[in-house]
């Protein structure tokens, strides 16, 4: 990476939900979901942090499922909860080089996975009633939060979580 001018930022956005409830989740579902949702971000940080330029930034993408049991996949919910701890640890280790690490925590976002999450409900519109802003967010709204945390405007923010969920986690 250094031959190309260095690495200034790292954004880690992965996620898969496997299994249905405790009874319908196999140990293999658990291992596979945690390997992608938590081990992959760990590996990205482990190998990305040394390559980052001093003053760089890492942004992980989590989920409101990490704040509360929000899906039918215990592995997904648990792995997204683990990102909070990983973010704080990366912030601590990166601090000596002014490398910031933060977590963006989307709620229901209009993506294929977000549409799938709300498709099982009787009415997609009715499922938005529990969101104070009354709608799913957009990928652009999540991207704006990421861009902010990567920017110099967030130069004194590290180890934090920015929830982008239309108020869903507030109610």
Which of 30, 60, 76, 128 is flagged as catalytic?
Answer: 76
pLDDT in tens, the chain (171 residues): 345 567 999 999 999 999 999 999 999 999 999 999 999 999 999 999 999 999 999 999 999 999 998 889 999 999 999 999 999 999 999 999 999 999 999 999 988 766 776 666 555 566 688 898 989 999 999 999 999 999 999 999 999 999 999 999 988
Residue 85 burial by CB count (10 A; 0-12/13-18/19+): exposed, middle or buried? exposed
Which residue blocks in 49-123 are alpha helix, DSSP H? 74-94, 112-119
Query: What is the topology classification, in CATH, of domain 6-170?
Result: Rossmann fold (3.40.50)
- In the residue annotation, 156 being an active-site residue is answered as no
Residue 20 CB-half CA count within 13 A: 2
Domain spans in the chain, listed from the N-terminal domain onward = 6-170
Question: Coil, helix or strand for 35?
Answer: helix
C-alpha–C-alpha distance, residues 64 and 55, integer Å: 28
Q: Is the dihedral of CA 138, 71, 10, 56 positive or negative?
A: positive
């Amino acid at each position: 990476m250094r031959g190309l001018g260095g690495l200034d930022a790292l954004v880690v956005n992965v996620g898969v939900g496997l299994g249905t409830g405790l009874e319908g989740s196999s140990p293999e579902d658990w291992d596979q979901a945690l390997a992608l949702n938590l081990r992959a971000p760990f590996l990205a940080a482990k190998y990305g942090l040394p390559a980052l330029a001093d003053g760089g930034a890492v942004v992980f993408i989590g989920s409101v499922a990490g704040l509360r049991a929000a899906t039918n996949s215990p592995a997904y919910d648990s792995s997204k909860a683990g990102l909070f701890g990983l973010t704080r640890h990366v912030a601590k280790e990166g601090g000596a080089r002014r490398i910031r690490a933060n977590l963006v925590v989307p709620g229901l976002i209009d993506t294929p996975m977000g549409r799938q999450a709300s498709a099982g409900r009787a009415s997609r519109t009715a499922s938005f009633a529990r969101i104070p802003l009354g709608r799913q967010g957009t990928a652009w709204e999540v991207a704006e939060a990421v861009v902010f945390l990567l920017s110099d405007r967030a130069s004194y923010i590290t180890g934090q979580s920015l929830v982008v969920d239309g108020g869903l986690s507030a109610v």
